[in-house]
Structure 1
Amino acid sequence: MIAVLWLTALACCICGATRPSATRPHGFKTMRSARGPPPSGRTPPTTGRPVVYPTSGELRPRLDAHGMPACAARGLGESAYCVEDATYPTQIIRNVLQSLNVDLSDKEILARQPLNHEDSIDQRVCTTKRKTIYPKTARSADHEWLYVVNDVEYAQAVTTEICADEEAPCDFVSSGLPPGYTSACRQKFAYRKLLAMHPTEKKAYAENFPFPSCCVCYVKSPPLAGRSLNPSRRRN
C-alpha cells in the first residue's frame, strides 16, 4: 500500500473546491439590473424585447475532430478554454445582454478571484505561473464547450495558477525526505461560476467551469515491507 501525504503549507494560495458548489463562489457578483438582482441560481427574466439570432444551427463553438476548438490550449488537464476565439458571436451576446436590461455603464468585472498577499519570508515549494484571463470559450463541468459572456462592456476575469513544471520534485522538500520517499508538484483545479450562453435556448445563464487554481506538493512513501509473509512463518 502506498501512503500519500498532501503538503498544503506553502504549496498553493488559491486552491478551491474540486466540485461545483450550489452557492456562489467568493468574489462573484450577480449582474446588476435596473429591476434589481435576480434570485441566486436563476436566469434573469427578459423584458420581452425581441432578440435576433441566426436562423439555423445552435450557438456552440466549432470543434475539431478531437472535440476541441482550434483556439483551445492543449495539456491543461481538466481545464480547457480560449481567451480569443475567431467564431465568438459578439453581436448575438450583446443583443442578449441588452434584452435583459443589464446596466453596463461601469463595465463591471465579474468573478475575479483575488490572490493572497505573499509573506516576504515564505517561499513556495512548487514554482507556478499566475495569470488573470478573460475566457471567451470554455469547457464546463459537464464537459460541454460553451461561449462565455466576455466583452469590453461585460467582462468576467478568472485568476489562474499553473504548475511551471508538473511532476517535478518539490523545492526544499526532497532533500530532507527519508530514504525511499519522493515528492512531486501536481496541478489542482477549482470551479468558477461564470455567465455563459445556452447553446439551444440562446440565453445567458450561470455555469460552472474548471480552471487551474494552484500547484500542490505531494509526498509518496515507499511500499511497506513484510506484506507478503509466508503463512507458515506467521504461525511460528
Structure 2
Amino acid sequence: MNIGFEDPKLRRAGENLEIPDDCKGIGICEDIPNYPEDIVKSLIEDLEKSNMSVFNKDTLYVPTGSRRVGSGDDMELCKSKEQIYAPRAARATDGQWLFIVNDKNRPRQTFRLEICQTDSSPCSSAAYIQSSYQARCVQKYIIREMIGLDRENKIVKQDIQVPSCCSCVMKNL
C-alpha cells in the first residue's frame, strides 16, 4: 500500500502528533488535538475507491439468557471498562505513536477494549487470597493490526498493542 501526499505542508502532519496524557498509559487515543482530518478523509476516499476492505470493525457482543457472563452470582474481581474505541492515534509495538486512519463521524476502524479502572489496584475483597499471596489487578494486552499514517503521510499497516482485559493476578510474597 503506497498511498500518500507530496505537499510539503501536509508532510509535517505526522511530526506534530500531540498525545494527551490520559492516552499515554493505555497506548491508544480517540481524541487528538491536531488530527489531520483533511489528509485522512482523502486517504479513506482513495482506499474505498480502490475497493480495499482493509478496515477492522469490532462490535460488543451481549449474550442472552444462560450464556451471559456476569449475570446472577458472577462477580468481577477487577473493576474495568469495556467499550468500542474508534482510535485516532495509537502506539505501535515499536513504541512510536502514529495517527490511525479513522473518520470521527463514520469510524472505519473500531476495536473492543477492556481497560482496568485502576491498574495495579487490589483485587476485590470478595476473593479469598491466602496470606502468603498478594493479588492485584493487571492490564493485559493483545496485538491488533491497524491502518495508520506514517510521518510522510503514507498509509501503513502497523501492529498496535491494545488493552484487552483486566485480570486479577496473584504473587507469592
TM-score in same-fold range (> 0.5)? yes
Hey, what does 1:160 align to over in structure 2?
Answer: 113
Question: How far does the alpha carbon of each residue in 1:147-200 deviate from its partner, in whole angstroms, 9 at most, with x for none?
Answer: 111013552112211112332322222xx3333222111111122211111322
Q: 2:56 aligns with which of 85, 106, 110?
A: 110
Hey, what does 2:86 align to over in structure 1?
Answer: 134
* Distance (whole Å) between structure 1 residues aligned to residue 158 and residue 112 of structure 2: 17
* Distance (whole Å) between structure 1 residues aligned to residue 120 and residue 107 of structure 2: 37
Q: TM-score if structure 1 supplies the norm length? A: 0.58
Does 1:145 pair with 2:94? no
* Distance (whole Å) between structure 2 residues aligned to residue 158 and residue 72 of structure 1: 21
Question: How far does the alpha carbon of each residue in 1:107-150 deviate from its partner, in whole angstroms, 9 at most, with x for none?
Answer: x9723154564422322111111222211111111111111110
SS of the residue aligned with 1:84?
coil
Q: 2:146 aligns with which of 191, 194, 197?
A: 194
Letter in 2 for 1:88: Y
Hey, what does 2:123 align to over in structure 1?
Answer: 170
* Distance (whole Å) between structure 1 residues aligned to residue 23 and residue 29 of structure 2: 11
SS of the residue aligned with 1:219?
strand
Does 1:60 pair with 2:14? yes
Structure 1 unpaired stretches of 5+: 1-42, 64-68, 223-236
* Distance (whole Å) between structure 2 residues aligned to residue 182 and residue 52 of structure 1: 53
* Distance (whole Å) between structure 1 residues aligned to residue 107 and residue 143 of structure 2: 20
Q: Which has the higher helix share?
A: 2
Hey, what does 1:221 align to over in structure 2?
Answer: 172
Q: 1:181 aligns with which of 133, 141, 148?
A: 133
Letter in 1 for 2:172: S
Residue 61 (structure 1) shift: 4.8
Hey, what does 1:83 align to over in structure 2?
Answer: 30
Question: How far does the alpha carbon of each residue in 1:15-35 deviate from its partner, in whole angstroms, 9 at most, with x for none?
Answer: xxxxxxxxxxxxxxxxxxxxx
- Identical positions, percent: 23
Question: How far does the alpha carbon of each residue in 1:46-66 deviate from its partner, in whole angstroms, 9 at most, with x for none?
Answer: 6xxxx6543244441525xxx
* Distance (whole Å) between structure 1 residues aligned to residue 51 and residue 80 of structure 2: 37
* Distance (whole Å) between structure 2 residues aligned to residue 149 and residue 193 of structure 1: 12
> Would you say the 8 A contact 2:15–2:151 is kept in 1?
no
Q: TM-score if structure 2 supplies the norm length? A: 0.76
> Would you say the 8 A contact 1:73–1:80 is kept in 2?
no
Q: Which has the higher strand share?
A: 2
Name which of structure 1's ranges 127-136 and 159-168 shifts more when overlaid on structure 2: 159-168
Hey, what does 1:34 align to over in structure 2?
Answer: none
Structure 2 unpaired stretches of 5+: none
